[in-house]
Amino acid sequence: MLLAIDIGNTNIVLGVFDRELLTESWRLVTMRERTSDEIGILVTQLFERSDIDLASIDGIILSSVVPPLTRTMEEMCERFFEKRPLTVDPAGNTGMPVLYQPPSDVGADRVVNGIAAYEAFGRADGVPVIVVDFGTATTFDAISARGEYLGGVICPGIGISADALFQRAARLPRVDVRKPPEVIGRTTVTSMQSGLFFGYVSMVDGIVTRMREEMEGGDRAPCIATGGMADILAAETKAIQRVEPDLTLQGLRIIWDRNHG
C-alpha cells in the first residue's frame, strides 16, 4: 500500500494505492499555517472513515510546490505513519531527464504529470506528449518522444483571472466561472463569464497549436488535461484529447516504483 501526497497552492491531494489501483483519494485545502499535528489528525480521520489502517501503508511519496509545507508534511508522515517519505526532486529522483534551466526551478507537479502522461500515452507509440494542468496557475508542459521534460508555459489560472477582474474593475461583480449560454453576453455577468470561459478555451487551443509546431513530432502529440477545471474546459477545446483527474497521483506512483523497484 502506497500513500501519495501532492501539495499544491490551492489543495493538498492524497491518494492510497494498492499496487497500481488507486483505492481512495481526498482533497484538503492548502493552509500554510497548519502544523504537522493538525494535518496528521485530519489524515487519520480520513483513513478511519475509509476503513484504512495507518499501519497498512508500506511507503509514502510526496511532491510539493509549497516549500513551507514540505517539511511540515514530512514531519506528519514520520510521526503518524512512522515512515520517512520519498520527496520528489524534479532534477534528481524522477527518472525523467529535465531540460528546463535550471532543472531545479521546474515545479515538481509538472514533472510528475509529465511522467504519468508519457507512460500512459507517449512511450508505447513513441510520440511526444503535452499536458495542460488547470490549477492555481494554468500550466502547459511538453514531453519529448524520448521521455524528456522539455519545458512549457505558465499562465494565470482562470480563478486568478476572475479575481483580478473583480478586484481591479470597480463596477464589475465577482462571478462564478462557468460556460455562458452564448459567446455574446447579454448581461455584465454573462459577458464576464464569456470572456473568462471562451478566452481560456481559445488560449488553450492557441498555445497547444504553437507548442505542437515547435516540438519534434508535435503533430502526433496527444494533449492530456488535468486539474480542477479540466472537465469543463476540455470539452470545448479542439486541442485536448483526454482528461485524467488523477494524473498527478499516478505519476507519483510511477516515481515510487522507479525508486523502489
Catalytic residues: 109
As a dihedral over the C-alpha atoms of residue 5, residue 226, residue 196, residue 190, rounded to 10 degrees, the angle is -100
In degrees rounded to 5, what are phi and psi of residue 50?
-100, 10
First to last CA, the chain: 14
3-class DSSP state for residue 124? coil
Distance CA(34)–CA(139), nearest Å, equals 27
Q: What is the largest CA-CA distance in the chain?
A: 58
Percent helix, percent strand, percent coil in the chain, to nearest 5: 40, 25, 35
Q: Pick the closest to residue 230 from 173, 191, 177, 153 (CA basis).
A: 177
In the numeric block, the cell 477545471 is attached to 229
Instruction: Lay out the sheet containing 86-87: strands in order across.
Output: 21-29, 11-18, 2-7, 59-64, 86-87
Alpha helices in 171-216 (DSSP H): 188-214
Q: Pick the closest to residue 16 from 55, 45, 52, 70 (CA basis).
A: 52
